[in-house]
Structure 1
């Protein structure tokens, strides 16, 4: 089931901002836990299984404990102190901040995996140019660049096989990595120059308004998504305030 299949990519980005921005107002466990739980529960309905969420969000699951540990060791010391050494003070407040920061990293990061997954770059470019009225030249260039990103791995494998065929691949790993990276950079610059020339020849750099092959539209489902995300973030903040967990950022 993928309820986001026909949702405009621009709507997804706006919904992501509506969901995550209010979470930046407070550093508390309650609001982050509610938003995180809602994200995990709603992920399958967005076409992202829990296995996919774990696989794609693994950097966040590594970053969250690191952020929590640093806050536990160096957070503002308040309340009962459990351990101290030089600048390290583990107290009630630092542990509470550690839990809040760890959950908040996941609560803000995982919605990106859920809402931005499977967005087609062309559809996104159409939405940015037609709905948000961003400069067409910039949008088309960005879409073309994102399309070329998928070629990096193929270029790397091709260069690796070519070097091995010439008998120059057997060398130190570090030297091999930097040599391959430089070769990939040169190849990318050449391909970018050819693409820019081809796009200019086809009139992509013109000053007149252009037409679009596919019209980017929004509908009721787009509005529902934004309302649902707003309800989740508002509920998280409201419950945090009512339960006394809300702690405005900077206080």
Structure 2
């Protein structure tokens, strides 16, 4: 509920843009970053994306709070690529069972930065987009089926409640003395039990929501809309911004001579 109120109270510039325009800009950036595995294009895109966060009313602290799992995943992906990729160029570190060369380090850095540059626009999109506005845009502008749109809206609402549900279940279990002490194996078992409890609660909540929506006539053939989804000049600038980030990333990589197509990646 607090997440929903935050989104509705967000008066930042990007929060006023149409969700479909923001989604199209994210697609443009992602398509370009998916083509190359070099570190230059990913670095340029990442820097420009970070510069957009104030326009969405976000800070680096809030970004870390919401996106730290993505940062961790990107770092692990870059590290594993660095130590597993074939050696090329000078050997920088040789630990026996694995080694790091100039080529493998460049490849791992490219994978890590590209992962971050692809994930951040999605975080930006979800942080400044109200789920109801997104559902309105999908139904009115994209003409997607009502049942699909309403199901997506319900899922987005439920995802926002999972963190609070996890905290509530954890507090209840600790009050009974479960999961608050013991060796690592016992703690892992307690975490798995808490995860199962979260799954049960999610199924129950989804079932109640589905029955309620069906009883209130959601998914019917005739729909009316409380809010109209419209395009504005701001949406044009959002699309141009996405195109500009994609173009700047490609131009920087080509200028530096590091553009490296994924399916033709140099080893």
TM-score by length of 2: 0.80
Say whether residues 1:228 and 2:241 are aligned partners: yes
Say whether residues 1:42 and 2:52 are aligned partners: yes
Gaps of 5+ in 1: none
| Superposed displacement of residue 83, structure 1 | 4.0
Matched length: 247
Identify if the C-alpha distance between structure 1 residues 175 and 87 changes in structure 2 by more than 3 Å, giving closer, same or farther. Answer: closer
| Superposed displacement of residue 104, structure 1 | 1.4
Identify if the C-alpha distance between structure 1 residues 76 and 216 changes in structure 2 by more than 3 Å, giving closer, same or farther. Answer: same
The whole-number CA distance in structure 2 between the counterparts of 1:83 and 1:5 is 47
The whole-number CA distance in structure 2 between the counterparts of 1:73 and 1:9 is 40
Q: Which moved more, 1:36-45 or 1:220-229?
A: 36-45
Aligned Cα RMSD in Å? Answer: 2.7
**Kept in 2: contact 1:72–1:98 (CA 8 A):** yes
Say whether residues 1:246 and 2:253 are aligned partners: no
Q: 2:208 aligns with which of 191, 194, 210?
A: 194
| Superposed displacement of residue 82, structure 1 | 3.5
SS at match of 1:90: strand
**Kept in 2: contact 1:137–1:205 (CA 8 A):** yes
**Kept in 1: contact 2:33–2:118 (CA 8 A):** yes
Cα shift readout 1:17-59 (whole Å, capped 9, x = no counterpart): 1112101111112111111111122221221122322332222
**Kept in 2: contact 1:82–1:90 (CA 8 A):** yes
Show the counterpart of 1:129. Answer: 139
Show the counterpart of 1:102. Answer: 112
SS at match of 1:10: helix
**Kept in 1: contact 2:15–2:129 (CA 8 A):** no
| Superposed displacement of residue 133, structure 1 | 1.2
Map of 1:77-226 to 2, 5 A cutoff? 77-84=87-94, 88-152=98-162, 155=165, 169-171=176-178, 177-206=191-220, 208-226=221-239
**Kept in 2: contact 1:75–1:89 (CA 8 A):** no
Q: Which moved more, 1:124-133 or 1:152-161?
A: 152-161
TM-score by length of 1: 0.84
Identify if the C-alpha distance between structure 1 residues 224 and 182 changes in structure 2 by more than 3 Å, giving closer, same or farther. Answer: same
